[in-house]
Every structure is written in structure tokens, then in C-alpha cells.
Amino acid sequence: MCVAAASSLASSAAADDHALGTTLGATLDQGSIYEQLWPRVPDGNQLPLSQQLEERLTLLGNTLGYHLDVLSRETLSLRFDGRRRRAYVRFGGGEAQYLTFRLASDVHFTEGLARITTRVDLSIAGRALHLELPEVEMTPTEYHGERGVVVRLPLLRRSF
């Protein structure tokens, strides 16, 4: 009985090998064997990798900004928006009845430069002064191997 079972297993294995050989031959005729053995990974519904990195870096920067805000007792504040390529920086302090100073900047990064819009609020004994400074442009530069920054202050702005 054991011999009969072994011979039937051997004959079924030979039949499976024959079927596998005809299947592989058919797949070689139909297309690449690799497409049959390793099908494509289905397309995901996730954001592209660049946007995922953008969101993670924005979250990391805002977490850093939150901790900096707490540690400095709301004297220094940073906020980032990776999608719009903006950073918000605020520095200030003081008591309203004596002296307060606040400096707030909106930095927009575009085309290899940073456009900075700055606002200054100064208050002395309840009297307030609000200044909107002109937009400043900053771009990196290099001169004789030394790295630096070019600061441009456009006095007259024209568009054509």
C-alpha cells in the first residue's frame, strides 16, 4: 500500500512538472516570465514623496518653533509653511505699560532668493508706533571661495 501511494505521488509530481512546463512555455509565448512571477505593485493613493517630505519637514520645523516659543517665554516664535514656501519669524517682548518691542517677518522663498517683509511695533508708556519696512531680497553668493549673502533693498519697483 505504501508502494502504491509513492508511485501515485511520483506520477502526480510528473504530471505537475509537465503542466508547469507547458504553463511556463505558454507564458514565454504570451510575454515575459517576470511579469507573471512578479506582478506590478498597485498604484497607491498616497501623496508623492516630495510632498510627503515637505509635510514632514514643515511638521518638524513647527515642532521646533513651538518648543522655541515655550522655552523663550513667547519672546521668539517660528512658524513654517512648506507648501507655500514661507516662514514666519516673530521676536519681541516687554510689558504694555512700560515698553514693548515686536519684530515680525514674513519670509517667502522663491527662485533661489528670500523675499522678506518686516513689521516693527514699538510701544512706550501706551503710545504705539507701527512701522512697515520695505521688502528686502536676500540671495546667496560666493566671492573668491567665501560664501555670503547679497541683500537687495529695492527703492523703486517697476513692472513691465
pLDDT for the residue numbered 16: 52
**24, 89, 107, 141, 149 from 112: Cα distances, Å:** 55, 19, 13, 11, 12
Give the residue numbers spanning the domain of 116.
50-152
pLDDT, tens digit (0-9, with 9 covering 90-100), for 11-63: 554 555 555 555 555 545 455 777 777 777 767 788 888 888 999 999 999 99
Tell me the percentage of the chain whose pLDDT exceeds 70. 79
Residue 3 resides in a domain: no
DSSP assignment of 70-123:
HHTTSSEEEEEETTTTEEEEEEEEEETTTEEEEEEEEEEEETTEEEEEEEEEEE
Residue 30 resides in a domain: no
- Residues 57 and 18: their CA atoms lie apart, in Å, by 56
pLDDT for the residue numbered 154: 79
pTM of the model: 0.62
- Residues 20 and 16: their CA atoms lie apart, in Å, by 6
Query: What is the number of structural domains in the chain?
Result: 1
DSSP annotation of 38? S
The answer to whether residues 137 and 115 touch, using CB atoms and an 8 Å cutoff, is yes
Residue 143 resides in a domain: yes
pLDDT for the residue numbered 49: 85
